[in-house]
Amino acid sequence: MTDTVRVRFAPSPTGALHIGGGHTALFNWLWARHTGGKFILRIEDTDRERSTKEFENTILAGMKWLGLDWDEGPDVGGEYGPYRQSERLDLYHKYAEQLVEEGKAYREGPAIIYRLPEGEKISFDDQVYGYIEVTSDSLLKDIVLIKSDGMPTYNYAVVVDDHCMNINYVIRGEDHISNTPKQILLYRALGWEVPTFAHLPMILGKDKKKLSKRHGATSVYEYRDQGYLPEGIFNFLAILGWSAGDDREVFSREELVELFELHRVTKKAAVFDTDKLNFVNQEHLKNMDPRERLELVKPFWKEAGLPVEDYSDEYLAQALVVMGGRGRTTCELAQYSDYFLSFDRVKERYDASDIPEDQKEMLKGFFAEFLKVRPWTHAAMEEMTRSWAADKGVKLKLIAMPMRFALTGVKVSPGIFEIAEFLGPEELEKRLSWFGLV
């Protein structure tokens, strides 16, 4: 077996790339990149009724969106191909026949079945779960290699493929621990070296039950469509069941590649905490290049019917900078920033009916002075406002809250003077005038 680390991700093309599969793929990719090894993509498409080319394409696209590139696979080739099980049937039959000839397997009609040896000790050192030992008697029944329809079973095909593709690290979900002894027996029967195993903790919902649709989105693409960043999902999946050894939760891809070690993977089930995902994604969103962030937000503005084409990219990118890191996803960021693109949205939410007449008169006097502030900077505006309020004995919130609602239509926003500076005096006067405040 080669000294170079060779790992694989082997999805079945019977659905989109779900979070559990993305998690397994990511840990394999990180180990390959950390060690300077190879990451192989293999398609396990022996379920002929449910496997489709469309699902295969969707899985590949999902991995590419996450930034998981592969060194060998069905679309890029490699010296150990083919990389679809449906194209490797001759191999499975060849080794099954060999086991029959050696008396280690027998036929039952068209099926071929491996005969379990009696009382054989099977042990392995799992990189995550430690030393595991069972006896062959505990496996209870012989192992089907080739089914009556001529297709290989999972436990057999995976052994043939991993050996023939020189896979020396098998990193997969902990639900496969029970399969490992069967597979080790098949490695031994065929005279092959057994790879190193590392089983990853199960991902649970916050209710401590296995992750499913009731916990929210389950496919990688659903998160993309909700406005999550690939960097955010990548980072969050990496810290599900793994720790760098400190309290950090936000990492770049490069940092994760450098820090990733299998011995830091935890045995404890990982909890898919949407609040943590939102925090991690928001941090990556904050740190994005403004123009790149703009391109991700634009489709959500357009979907909401906002007049994106009426503004320059420079204006729109800066509007998102003014947002100051608000919005956990690009979808939320688009939603929270609509007042930069449309005053109509403000008018739909707010009508100034909450302002008593005496307060309105006070605000008219204030804004008449406020609009003369120069230079037109948030610092100058704030200084003038504090000075005016102190001079007139007016509480700041009696000025700031009506101003916030008149400009944005919402109770919570970035600093109101930063918004006023960005919108400019003409737009400010237009909005204040609509509500009878100037």
Domain region containing 384: 347-434
Quick: pLDDT tens for 265-310: 999 999 999 999 999 999 999 999 999 999 999 999 999 999 999 9
Q: What is the pLDDT of residue 209?
A: 82
Quick: pLDDT tens for 225-250: 999 999 999 999 999 999 998 889 99
Q: Quick check: is 43 in a domain?
A: yes
For range 11-40, the mean pLDDT:
95
- Listed residues 325, 341, 357: the one ending a domain: 341
Q: Are residues 192 and 326 in the same domain?
A: no
For range 91-104, the mean pLDDT:
98
pLDDT bracket for residue 207 (50, 70, 90): confident
Give the chain's radius of gyration (CA, Å).
Answer: 30
Q: What is the pLDDT of residue 215?
A: 60
Q: Are residues 418 and 333 in the same domain?
A: no
Q: Are residues 24 and 104 in the same domain?
A: yes
Q: Are residues 305 and 401 in the same domain?
A: no
Residue 126 parent element (H or E): strand 121-126
Other C-beta atoms lying within 10 Å of the C-beta of residue 87: 13
For range 356-364, the mean pLDDT:
97
Q: Quick check: is 394 in a domain?
A: yes
- Among the options 64, 94, 206, 213, which is catalytic? 213
- Helix/strand/coil percent split, the chain, to 5: 50, 15, 35
Q: Are residues 319 and 421 in the same domain?
A: no
pLDDT bracket for residue 82 (50, 70, 90): very high
Q: What is the DSSP string of 15-59?
A: S--BHHHHHHHHHHHHHHHHHT-EEEE-B----TTT--HHHHHHH
213 part of the active site: yes
Q: Are residues 19 and 122 in the same domain?
A: yes
Q: What is the pLDDT of residue 283?
A: 97
Q: What is the pLDDT of residue 114?
A: 98
pLDDT exceeds 70 at position 216: no
Q: Are residues 378 and 396 in the same domain?
A: yes
Q: What is the pLDDT of residue 210?
A: 79
Q: Quick check: is 68 in a domain?
A: yes
What's the mean pLDDT when you consider all of the chain? Answer: 95
For range 306-332, the mean pLDDT:
97
pLDDT bracket for residue 221 (50, 70, 90): confident
pLDDT bracket for residue 47 (50, 70, 90): confident
Q: Quick check: is 417 in a domain?
A: yes
Q: Are residues 36 and 185 in the same domain?
A: yes
- CATH code, domain with 323: 1.10.8
Q: Are residues 83 and 190 in the same domain?
A: yes
- Listed residues 187, 203, 219: the one ending a domain: 203
Q: Are residues 326 and 392 in the same domain?
A: no
Q: Quick check: is 40 in a domain?
A: yes
Q: How many domains does the chain have?
A: 3
pLDDT exceeds 80 at position 83: yes
- Listed residues 175, 203, 231: the one ending a domain: 203
pLDDT exceeds 70 at position 214: no
Q: Are residues 39 and 117 in the same domain?
A: yes
Q: Quick check: is 254 in a domain?
A: no
Helix (H, G, I), strand (E, B) or coil at 14: coil
Q: Is 241 exposed, middle or buried (0-12, 13-18, 19+ CB in 10 A)?
A: buried
Q: What is the pLDDT of residue 269?
A: 92
Q: Which residues contact 194 (CB under 8 A, 6 or more apart)?
A: 124, 184, 187, 188
For range 153-167, the mean pLDDT:
98
Q: Are residues 38 and 174 in the same domain?
A: yes
pLDDT bracket for residue 211 (50, 70, 90): confident
Q: Is 99 exposed, middle or buried (0-12, 13-18, 19+ CB in 10 A)?
A: buried
Q: Quick check: is 94 in a domain?
A: yes
- CATH code, domain with 374: 1.10.10.350
- CATH code, domain with 156: 3.40.50.620
